[in-house]
Amino acid sequence: MGLRMSRNFYILAAVLVFFALLSGGMSLVPSSFQPGLPANGTLWRTVGLILLLAGLGSALVGVMSHLFEQVDRHSEQARQEARRKRRERGEL
């Protein structure tokens, strides 16, 4: 059947949301535990929000992609079924 495009978007969404949660957790860690990393909590929260929105957008694209794949598959099956019925009527 081949690899579905929606699965790739779901995986991307999961990874983005994971990193959003990780960056949200980093905003709660005190700056003494983050040498060399940005210590500003608002920066971590902003990055987390951007990653979360990107993850939600990717999930939406995945859902829409799956929906259109399903509609395409259904219309292809209906077209083949109609063709099969026409052939049966023609042979009788």
What residues does each domain of the chain span?
Answer: 5-91
Burial label, 9 (beta-carbon count in 10 A; 0-12, 13-18, 19+): buried
Determine if the pTM surpasses 0.85.
no
Binning pLDDT at 50, 70 and 90, where does residue 55 land?
very high
> pLDDT tens digits, residue range 2-45?
457 778 999 999 999 999 999 998 888 877 776 777 667 788 89
Other beta carbons within 10 Å of 62:
21
- In order of 22, 57, 70, the CA distances from 8 in angstroms are 21, 13, 16
Nearest to 37, CA basis, from 19, 49, 23, 51 = 23
